[in-house]
Amino acid sequence: MITLEGQTILLTGASRGIGAATARLILEAGGNLVGSYQTGLGALSQLAAEYGPARVKAIQIDLGTPGAGKRLWQEALAFKGRLDGLVNNAGIAPETPIDAPDGDWAVDWARVIAVNVQAVADLCREAVLTFRAQGGGRIVTVASRAAFRGDTPECLHYAASKGALVALMRSIARGYAREGIYGFIIAPGWVKTDMATGIYEPGNEYKLQEIPMGDAAPPEDVGNMIAFLLTGKVDNATGATFDINGASYVR
């Protein structure tokens, strides 16, 4: 049985998709949740109603703004006075063609790096500093199969940002394991979320055909892996990448 009893977890992008599924699994396992969101509360509203303010804290923040990662960590830490785990789930993937106007290209790349890389790096930095002082902790970061096999030409920035996260987490795992700080990478393919609705549109059948299992993964598959890694039952897997893609990319 997976249990996170007594743990408090900070989860970014917790209002929908993979984040919402993971948030519920953390709470069902007995953990306390600090969930960030950018616009609407989404699933966090229902979870707060079910589990109450002693178990759930929602924080609105734009992770693309300078210093957002540190501000989020400090506010989350104040909830219970301790954080045991960090889940970096929030991310963006605008479509930016190679022939886009220079201004659009620059804005999109800057925004993707700010949200997908800089905010994650800042959160990881705060986590390591906090975990060092308290004797350990765990970080799970959601990357993508795109970090390993690449992505479409419209999402060069997304693939690059996810590749950066893989290097970041491997470095943290290698650098801080002796201090009880462990880092893990999740690399999903298509997942049944709002971001993946396009794969079901007419003309995109080939995107499903490339998946041997025949369909995108349910977000709970990703959430279950995240929750399991947070339990501490497989800490010797620190630095490892866990692929959840229906065998569409096998290494």
Q: How far apart are CA 182 and CA 173, in angstroms?
A: 6
Instruction: Identify whether the C-beta of residue 51 lies closer than 8 Å to the C-beta of residue 23.
Output: no
Residue 8 CA: distances (Å) to CA of 56, 108, 214? 10, 33, 36
Reply yes or no on whether 37 is catalytic: no
In the three-class reduction of DSSP (H, G, I as helix; E, B as strand; rest coil), residue 49 is classed as helix
Q: Give me 96's structure tokens.
A: 């930016």
Residue 172: other Cβ atoms inside 10 A: 23
Radius of gyration (C-alpha) of the chain in whole angstroms: 17
Instruction: Identify whether the C-beta of residue 105 lies closer than 8 Å to the C-beta of residue 153.
Output: no
Instruction: Identify whether the C-beta of residue 11 lies closer than 8 Å to the C-beta of residue 87.
Output: yes
From the list 37, 158, 176, 182, the catalytic residue is 158
Beta bridge partners of 242: 186
Catalytically active residues are 158
